[in-house]
Amino acid sequence: MKTHLKAFAVHLGGRLVKSASRNRALSKHFAGLAKVAEADGESGEGTPAHIFSQLADAHNEAAADDTELATHCAEFVKILDSTRKAMGGSDDLMPTEVSAVVPSNLRPVFRSGQREFSLLDKNDKANETIAKITSLE
């Protein structure tokens, strides 16, 4: 499973880097179109210069977001590698007979009015019943 997660994170990070470079290129092209439109003498909101400028800013922000996500993907790959080393160098999670891992300080939470129970409860005859059922006599 870790192998698949690592491959996915590497693939996603690579795609995000490519997307960021495309968005940067588009941002430069729209910024150039905005300068050309401004040189034609039109300015103000709703003009081509303003629209091209907004598109350039939007692509610049998208490139920054893609770069940030690619950085997080790289960090995730490093975390996967460090956990692999900490777990004994195994690349994948191996199935075991363990069905659950619970903390040792686990205790029951009783409903109101329910009596507490204990393994050492003297009034409970469950141990005696189990001993009678399982005895060979």
What gap in Å lies between CA 47 and CA 55, rounded to an integer? Answer: 12
What gap in Å lies between CA 44 and CA 7, rounded to an integer? Answer: 48
pLDDT of residue 130: 65
% residues pLDDT > 70 (the chain): 60
Q: Which residues of 92-110 are buried (b: 16+ CB within 10 A; e: fewer)?
A: eeeeeeeeeeeeeeeeeee
Q: Which residue ranges make up each domain of the chain?
A: 2-86
% residues pLDDT > 90 (the chain): 31
Dump pLDDT digits (tens) for 24-78.
Answer: 999 999 999 989 888 887 777 878 889 999 999 999 999 999 999 999 999 998 8
Average pLDDT over residues 89-116: 60
pLDDT of residue 123: 56
